[in-house]
Structure formats: C-alpha cells, structure tokens
Structure 1
Amino acid sequence: MSLASNKIVVITGASRGIGRGCALEFARQSAHGLVLHYYGDAVTKEEVQTLETEIKGFSNTQVTSVPGDIADPLTSKKIVDAAVAAFGRIDVLVSNAGICPFAEFLTMPLETWEITRKVNLDGSFYIVQAVANQMKTQVPQGGSIIGISSISALVGGELQCHYTPTKAGILSLMQSCAVALGKYGIRANAILPGTIATDINKEDLADTDKRESMIKRTALGRLGTPSDIAGPVVFLASDLARYVTGASLLVDGGLFVNLQ
C-alpha cells in the first residue's frame, strides 16, 4: 500500500516550489484528495492549474484548489471549509506558504518585517489552528500536521534577520502543538529544509559565487530540490510515523554539519 493511500491532504502555498513538490509526491503515493492553497494572483492561478493537470496525468487523486492570502485568517477558514465540503475530513496539513524578501537589517522597511511575519508565522498559526480544530472534531479523530520551517531556524543569515525568526517560530509552534494536540490524536512535526532551489531564492542563487559556495558547503555536493523535501513530508504524514510528534527533521544534504 502507498504511504498516502486514502488520505486527505491540505497544502498551503502549493502552486510552486516545495508545496508543489509535496502535492506531486502525495499524488504519487495515492492520496485520495488534495486541497491546494495558492495566493490567487494570475501567476499562481496558472501555476496551480498546470499542477492540477499534471496530477490528473498520472494519478486518480482528486484535487480542489483554494485561493487566498494566508496572512488573512479568513483564508484558513476557507481552506478548511473547502476540504470538508469536498472530502468530509482532513488527515494531513502541510503548512508551507512562505516568503523571503532578502533585505539589509539596518535599512529594512518596517513593512518588510511585518509582511514576512504575517505570511510566514501568523499564516502558519491560522491554518494550523483551523485544521487542528477540524481534526479534533472529525470521526475518526486525529491527523498529522507538518510545518515547513527551515535550517534558518537554527542558524543566521545576513539578509534574513526578518525571515529566520519566523522559521524558528514555526519550529517552536510545532513543538508546542505536539503537546497541546496529542490528546486528540494529532501529531505535529517540523521539516527544516536546507538550501532548496526554488523561486523564493532564485535571485539570491543567481549569484554564481554564492551558489557554488553553497554547493561546496553541502556534504552531498548539490543543492536540494522540492522533491527532496516531499519524501520526508510524506513520511511524517504517513502511518509509518505514527509515534513521531514534536520532532524536527533537518533535510539539508549535510549543510548544517559541514563546519569546515
């Protein structure tokens, strides 16, 4: 049996990058239903449409998509309502939506700090709370919540003084939710990706010297891809991880341990 058989999976920020990679892997692992959240502008709408088409090309997984700004708490309500209307329950949440507008700390506009916090941390809180309430009340009760944190929860970055605190916050949120929600059969875990080549860091990695430096620092000798993260996410969502909660899984190709 596939790891995601019969599961209903909600993924925020699903139109590109890690979220898209997770959606494709859950479909490969025979998830029954996917609820794909995307921002809702013309670009992400087209992206999620192509994702739906790609999934239909190789899987019987049913798909429904929900637009909205994750920084708005009403969006989380819309996502849960859509999931329940389409599938009756939610088994898995992948809280993935996030942004990283690189900025110098001393000259960073307050608005940059605010929007990064609102999307990354506030948005994660809203969707986790909304989905957890659904998981508590549904029959059978329970589910798996996976927060996409970052290696940046553990280390600093010169142009990420606004971003790294949000990712540390997601890690902490998963740890506390594991304690708060365990009595309802809800598991909460965090994935900490290393340097993954996605749109969020495309401009940063366009610097050839920086890109090569990151590759050299990674023990496996390459940058990560969204599919490298999707496998561990599906594992944490699956029944193979039924006794795993409050954990953090660093998926970085050996970047963190490579001091020299």
Structure 2
Amino acid sequence: MTALPAWNMLKGKTAAITGGTTGIGRAIVLAYITQGCNVAVNHLGLPRDEVHRHSLLEEAKVLERKGIKTGEILELSGDVTDPETSTSLVQQAVSQWGKLDIFVANAGVFKQAELLKIEPALLDHSVDVNIKGSFYSCQAAARQMVKQGHGGSIIGISSVSALLGGGLQAHYTPTKAAILSMMQSMAIALGKDKIRCNALMPGTIATQLADHDMKNPTKMAALEERIPLGRIGAPEDMAGPAVFLACEDMSRYVNATGLLADGGMYSKLQ
C-alpha cells in the first residue's frame, strides 16, 4: 500500500536508501518509485530477510500492473557499519542512472534492554548501526552530490526518541538524538553546495522494531491513549513526509530541521 497518488513529484530523480526492504524504509521506497523516482535499495542480504526482498519487488510490479509508471528499483546487499557498503550503494545508483539526487539513511536497530543490564556488545551494535552507519552513508551521498554540483536532499531517519527518554531505551535514544544533530551539522557544512539535510522523526510506528509493543495489548492501549490521533502509526504514514523532504519544489527552503511525525504524541503531556 502506498500513501500518495502517482503525482510524479520525483520524476527523473535518483534516490538511494539504506534498510529499504522492511518497515519505514520499504514504505519510502514504494512512495518514491510511485512518484517516478529510481531507487537503489540497500538491505543486509540475510537469508531470513529474502521474503521481504522478494515481496518488495513484487509490490513494485503490482504498481506497474495498475498502470502506474513507476521508477526502477536496484537492490544491493551490505552492512552499513562497513563504509564500503554505502560507497558501493551510491556508486551503483550513479552507474545505473547517472546521478544521485536523494539519499535516505534509514537502516537502524533497536532492542529493549534494562539500563543496568545493557552489555557493551548491545551498546556498541546500537552505536555502530544507528550512528556510524548513518554517518558513513550520508557522507558517501554528500561526496557524490558535491561532485555533481547541483545540490540534493539527504534525509536521516531519527525518531521522537531523539526528544524523549525511555526506561528501556538508554542505549537507543542517544543514537536517534545523534541523527538529528548530525543532520543539523551536515546542513551547515553542505549548505554552500545546495544540499539540504533534514531528519524525519517518526513516533510509534508498527514495524518489526516495535514488535515488543505491538504484541502487548496493555502497552498498545497506553500508547494509543497518548496519541491525539488515537492510533499507532503505519509505515506508510512516513511516506508523505519523506516525499516532501525529498521534493525540491515543495521543501527547497527546509533545511537542518527535524520533521516530527508522531500523531501528536510528543505534545500530549497531560
């Protein structure tokens, strides 16, 4: 399911995204190709994730069969904690379509853990994927965009968790705050090159990373009560904001900001 009609808002553009076969990343891929954008999609390439890769490609074919003139998908495996993964992703996108206009640093990990029981391995993995992986991928995209000389849009997937603490998230919330800060600093560094850098900050979204909450009726009810719109977000709810931040015509003066898309949850303090 896509959240936006095929308005060709990204027609002729090239994008690359990390972690693009599931959850929010997948929704963004489908939204981008529906808008006419060609997308290079990174994924880990694990055997257990093959079902997601195949279903993404099949969903793209379904859009085509509906008569939508979609962009193309190029999918590549690799771990974002290795800088070469993002360098290769960008190079392959440029080799296939001649340029890179949009980059989305989406790959991320989260596993609930009690503060006093967090082991170094879990903290290191969270930092390696969420912070270092995002940095390496955005840096690779920025290098290509600077070389091209015609600007671009870099989007880091942060979270409402960049602004709020969580008792079981002490190893996670700092990584999402880092992505927001990273986009702000990159926007300053790359402004002279007409490259806009922004963070998309989802609230509670029904993805694999939130399975622990989605399977707990009590937790679900508490979350829904806290959200003024009265529902948990769907990955497709992030498609529109991601298209907005990518589209030069709509967001050309939006830079160094965090776009909060949480159904109003952050504001409901009482």
TM-score, structure 1 length as denominator?
A: 0.97
Q: Is the 8 Å Cα contact of residues 38 and 45 (structure 1) preserved in structure 2?
A: no
2:20 equivalent to 1:14:
yes
What is the match of residue 72 of structure 2?
Answer: 62
Q: Is the 8 Å Cα contact of residues 3 and 235 (structure 1) preserved in structure 2?
A: no
Q: CA RMSD in A?
A: 1.0
What is the match of residue 4 of structure 2?
Answer: none
- Please, which moves more after superposition, 125-134 or 48-57? 48-57
What is the match of residue 230 of structure 2?
Answer: 221
What is the match of residue 52 of structure 1?
Answer: 57
How far is 1:99 from its partner?
Answer: 0.5
> For residues 102 and 46 of structure 1, what CA distance do their matches in structure 2 show?
25
Q: Is the 8 Å Cα contact of residues 187 and 198 (structure 2) preserved in structure 1?
A: yes
Amino acid in structure 2 at the alignment position of 1:137: K
Q: Which runs of 5+ in 2 are unaligned?
A: 1-6, 65-69
- What is the SS of the residue equivalent to 1:144? strand
- Please, which moves more after superposition, 17-26 or 49-58? 49-58
How far is 1:43 from its partner?
Answer: 2.5
What is the match of residue 145 of structure 1?
Answer: 154
Correspondent of 2:190 among 169, 181, 184 = 181
How far is 1:225 from its partner?
Answer: 0.5
Correspondent of 2:126 among 116, 124, 128 = 116
Q: Is the 8 Å Cα contact of residues 16 and 102 (structure 2) preserved in structure 1?
A: yes
How far is 1:98 from its partner?
Answer: 0.3
- Please, which moves more after superposition, 222-231 or 196-205? 196-205
Number of aligned residue pairs: give it. Answer: 258
Amino acid in structure 1 at the alignment position of 2:19: G
Q: Is the 8 Å Cα contact of residues 160 and 201 (structure 2) preserved in structure 1?
A: yes
How many percent of aligned residue pairs carry the same amino acid? 44
How far is 1:2 from its partner?
Answer: 2.1
Q: Is the 8 Å Cα contact of residues 174 and 189 (structure 1) preserved in structure 2?
A: yes
Runs of 4+ aligned residues of structure 1 deviating over 3 Å after TM superposition are none
2:96 equivalent to 1:86:
yes
Deviations 1:24-43 (A, max 9, x none): 11122121x11011011012
> For residues 153 and 63 of structure 1, what CA distance do their matches in structure 2 show?
31
Correspondent of 1:211 among 211, 215, 220 = 220
Q: Which runs of 5+ in 1 are unaligned?
A: none
Correspondent of 1:4 among 4, 7, 10 = 10
> For residues 243 and 12 of structure 1, what CA distance do their matches in structure 2 show?
25
Deviations 1:72-99 (A, max 9, x none): 1111111111111111111101110001
How far is 1:203 from its partner?
Answer: 1.9
What is the match of residue 41 of structure 2?
Answer: 36
Q: Is the 8 Å Cα contact of residues 103 and 153 (structure 2) preserved in structure 1?
A: yes
Amino acid in structure 1 at the alignment position of 2:31: E
- What is the SS of the residue equivalent to 1:253? coil
> For residues 30 and 78 of structure 1, what CA distance do their matches in structure 2 show?
23
What is the match of residue 31 of structure 2?
Answer: 25
> For residues 192 and 111 of structure 2, what CA distance do their matches in structure 1 show?
38
- What is the SS of the residue equivalent to 1:204? helix
> For residues 157 and 62 of structure 2, what CA distance do their matches in structure 1 show?
27
TM-score, structure 2 length as denominator?
A: 0.93
What is the match of residue 129 of structure 1?
Answer: 139
> For residues 231 and 44 of structure 1, what CA distance do their matches in structure 2 show?
26
2:264 equivalent to 1:259:
no
- What is the SS of the residue equivalent to 2:211? helix
Q: Is the 8 Å Cα contact of residues 35 and 71 (structure 2) preserved in structure 1?
A: no
- What is the SS of the residue equivalent to 1:57? helix
> For residues 205 and 87 of structure 2, what CA distance do their matches in structure 1 show?
30
